Chain A
Amino acid sequence: MQDDAFWLRLDNAAKIYPSVRTDELTSVFRISVLLKERIKAKAFLGAIQEVENRFPYYKVVLKPGFFWYYLEHHRRPIPVQPDLDIPCRAFDKQSFMFRVLARDNRISVEFSHILTDAAGGFEFLKCLLRVYLIHCGNPVAHNIPALLPSDEPGQEEYEDAYNRYFRKTVSPRMNLRASFHLPFSLNRPSELKVLTMEIPSDQILSKARYCGVSLTEYLISVYMFLLQDIYEELPLLQQRTNNRIIRIEVPVNLRNFYPSHSMRNFSLYVLPEIDMRLGHYTFEEILETVHYLMQLETNKKLIHKILSRNVGGERNLILKRIPLFLKSFLFNTFYALGTSRYSGVVTNLGNVKLPREISELIDKFIFVPPPPSKKLKVNCGVIGFGNKLMLCFGNVTSSNTLENKFGEFLRKEGLPCDIHAY
């Protein structure tokens, strides 16, 4: 597979994206690292050159087949650009589906979900960062735990891990009711606005621990509580016509459950929810509900059930034999149905752990989630480094109400937070 010319099937999670992606719904996410010093152009380009052949499975172009899309390897250089435009823009049809960007003291990588998930993209960024810092004359960068450009990419890095860990099991279809969506009007012309929120990690962590939940559960609870708040502020008639379930999509990195080294997509979603038909939820009640639902849904057996259901759908004999143009139509319908089932997305990439001497060179990391759909309108990416927890809100509406409420809520809870435009 490591030969010059190869092609890859799309992995299970990627299969839907080519059919639903548009200039606005790009399915492109970004991970940025902000250094304490300006990016040195020569060292940066040197580092790009050095990692050029380390990730051949990303140097692919999307091609339509008769039944499925597939990825075709090309020997072009990694696309490098100055970071001057809005984040997470769509890729041209014939181009690679990732790019590396730099501006001032910031290095960013953008990947389409067709190629990989945030965990895969982050491995690429870590490798690039390591090589860049070495090129800048920082020998301590050798301590960054990352893939080495000199190593041959392993066979496992190419693989569709969903199929590897698929076992046929009982996995009935889920019938979820449609959920509440933010009532704000969309940006005209449609453009992604990105706001970042910086919170001291130690303070928010101790707050979450005090509440007896994890950091992700705490943030999901705040998000749900504020969505409930927005719902309750609506005029009565609008409240009645809206769906009254608040459900948040939370991606789970399956590499934490299965010993996979796949550099492609390998994540699933769990969907904690509250049902507002049962009455108003206090924040404490939401915390409790989210905590137990998350514990339950991230059980390995249940995760395996979701994995089996997803892969089982792909292996369906009828679906397999439907031509691509019909599949695309079906996928579009499924996707629209899927997004109507949840009210928001909170995706936590986790806490970045690097040796202390490296931390002195890095200010923070930022994770920009893919632009939300017109139905979803806002989503939130989370990443922590050192004592900085960075929340990043992608928003396609003309309102910043949710972000402002988020900031206000955290401040009321005694957590200082700085809000900035990205």
Chain B
Amino acid sequence: MIYCKKCGVELDVGMSRCPLCGKSVSRHAGGTAAEQEEDDPAMSTGHKWDLQRIRRRIIQAIPSLKRIFHT
């Protein structure tokens, strides 16, 4: 069985990319699992969300930083 290491869904033998998260896959020597190689920039929503979450945290931290460093 081949499955995407990122979102964990089962892939068909012929699939070169996970159709759900867009991660490209290659088989391990054992041929049982798929691993991530590179991102498809158009499809990697997970990566985009990570960046959005970091950005949100930074933005949310700015008011408290201002409060701390106010003169």
Residues of A within 8 A of B (CB): 23, 37-42, 44-45, 80-85, 102-105, 188-190
User: Are B10 and A41 within 8 A (Cβ)?
Assistant: yes
How close is B22's CB to chain A, nearest CB, in angstroms? 8
How close is A267's CB to chain B, nearest CB, in angstroms? 31
Interface centre among B7, B53, B56 (most CB of A within 10 A): B7
Give every chain B residue within 8 A of A102 (Cβ-Cβ).
Answer: 7, 9, 20
B residues 1-16 near A (Cβ < 8 Å) are: 1, 3-4, 6-12, 15
Residue interface bits B20-54, CB-to-A below 8 A is 1, else 0? 11000000000000000000000001100100010
For the complex, count residues of B whose C-beta is within 8 A of A: 23
User: Are A82 and B12 within 8 A (Cβ)?
Assistant: no
Give every chain B residue within 8 A of A103 (Cβ-Cβ).
Answer: 7-9
Number of A-B contacts (CB under 8 A): 66
- The residue of chain B having its C-beta at the shortest distance from the C-beta of A45 within the complex is B19
| Partner of B19 from A37, A42, A104, A188 at Cβ < 8 Å | A42
Complex alpha-carbon distance, A260 and B3, angstroms: 42
Complex alpha-carbon distance, A39 and B9, angstroms: 5
| Partner of B21 from A40, A42, A82, A189 at Cβ < 8 Å | A82
- The residue of chain A having its C-beta at the shortest distance from the C-beta of B57 within the complex is A189
Identify 26 residue pairs between A and B in the complex whose beta-carbon atoms are under 8 Å apart, listed by A's number. Answer: A23-B56, A38-B8, A39-B8, A39-B10, A41-B11, A41-B19, A42-B19, A44-B9, A44-B20, A81-B20, A82-B18, A82-B21, A82-B46, A83-B7, A84-B6, A84-B7, A84-B21, A85-B46, A85-B53, A102-B7, A103-B7, A104-B7, A104-B8, A105-B8, A188-B60, A189-B56
User: Are A41 and B18 within 8 A (Cβ)?
Assistant: yes
| Partner of A82 from B3, B7, B56 at Cβ < 8 Å | B7
Q: Does B68 contact A (CB under 8 A)?
A: no
Complex alpha-carbon distance, A38 and B33, angstroms: 13
Give every chain B residue within 8 A of A104 (Cβ-Cβ).
Answer: 7-9
Give every chain A residue within 8 A of B3 (Cβ-Cβ).
Answer: 38
- The residue of chain B having its C-beta at the shortest distance from the C-beta of A81 within the complex is B45
Give every chain A residue within 8 A of B7 (Cβ-Cβ).
Answer: 82-84, 102-104
